[in-house]
């Protein structure tokens, strides 16, 4: 930092500027940069909160879609099971009680329900394992990395002051702070556009694929149950 940058325009003043005046001017510049770094840090923190909330909403949406898939199929199985039991009881009322034939149908229906329960549990285990993996390996590790990087922004000013000689390297220190600020801005835009957004998109794509996969898994898990149950319903009136 040259002395001429802080030289008063009044030519009547002495050419020599006391050293403490230059230090005061340097301190003002440092305060300004510290304020800019702190403001930028506050803005990035606010943006990080927004990205995290958006991701939480996405996670909730994928989870709810999975719950709909499982809930609809399980309800279908439950309703079909109740319908068969009602048919058996109605037929038993007509006959004056459950006979061996009707009891055999109920026994087969119980075995059928146990079988479909195991198949549904296998789908649920696959879903939980996959979703847990997505939550562990997608977005949040990158989010933590970006959060760690941005947490160092406010101390950049202190760091350069601890490395430079404030009595000899004033201009170099201020230039470094300006250049560093520009780099941090570019890094932040890269983090937002390429990392956080990519990770959120990746979670959404993989999550929706999981929903489709569970549609298939639950369909495969229940079709044999529904077929067997339909055959048993056809046998009720023959008892």
Distance CA 102, CA 98 (A): 6
Give the pLDDT mean for 139-145.
Answer: 90
Q: How does pLDDT run across 160-179, given as a tens digit for each residue?
A: 777 766 666 788 888 888 88
Confirm if 27 and 175 have CB atoms less than 8 A apart.
no
Distance CA 67, CA 214 (A): 10
- Of the ranges 25-39, 103-117, 182-196, which one carries the lowest mean pLDDT score? 182-196
Q: CB neighbours (10 Å) of residue 182?
A: 10
Confirm if 196 and 142 have CB atoms less than 8 A apart.
yes
Q: How does pLDDT run across 95-116, given as a tens digit for each residue?
A: 888 899 999 999 999 999 999 9
Distance CA 142, CA 155 (A): 22
Distance CA 228, CA 79 (A): 14
């Amino acid at each position: 930092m040259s002395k001429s940058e802080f030289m008063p325009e009044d030519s009547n003043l002495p050419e020599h500027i006391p050293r403490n005046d230059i230090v005061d001017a340097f301190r003002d510049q440092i305060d300004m940069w510290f304020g800019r770094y702190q403001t930028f840090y506050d803005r990035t923190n606010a943006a990080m909160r927004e990205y995290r909330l958006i991701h939480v909403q996405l996670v909730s949406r994928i989870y709810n879609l999975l719950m709909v898939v499982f809930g609809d199929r399980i309800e279908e199985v439950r309703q079909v099971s109740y319908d068969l039991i009602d048919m058996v009881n109605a037929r038993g009322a007509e006959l004056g009680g459950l006979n061996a034939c009707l009891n055999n149908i109920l026994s087969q229906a119980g075995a059928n329900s146990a079988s479909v329960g195991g198949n549904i549990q296998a789908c649920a285990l696959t879903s939980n394992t996959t979703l847990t993996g997505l939550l562990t390996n997608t977005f949040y590790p990158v989010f933590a990395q970006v959060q760690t990087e941005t947490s160092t922004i406010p101390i950049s000013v202190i760091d350069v002051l601890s490395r430079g000689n404030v009595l000899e390297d004033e201009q170099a220190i201020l230039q470094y702070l300006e250049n560093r600020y520009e780099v941090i801005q570019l890094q932040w835009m890269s983090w937002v556009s390429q990392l956080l957004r990519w990770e959120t998109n990746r979670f959404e794509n993989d999550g929706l694929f999981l929903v489709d996969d569970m549609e298939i898994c639950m369909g495969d898990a229940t079709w044999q149950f529904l077929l067997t149950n339909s055959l048993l319903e056809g046998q009720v009136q023959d008892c």
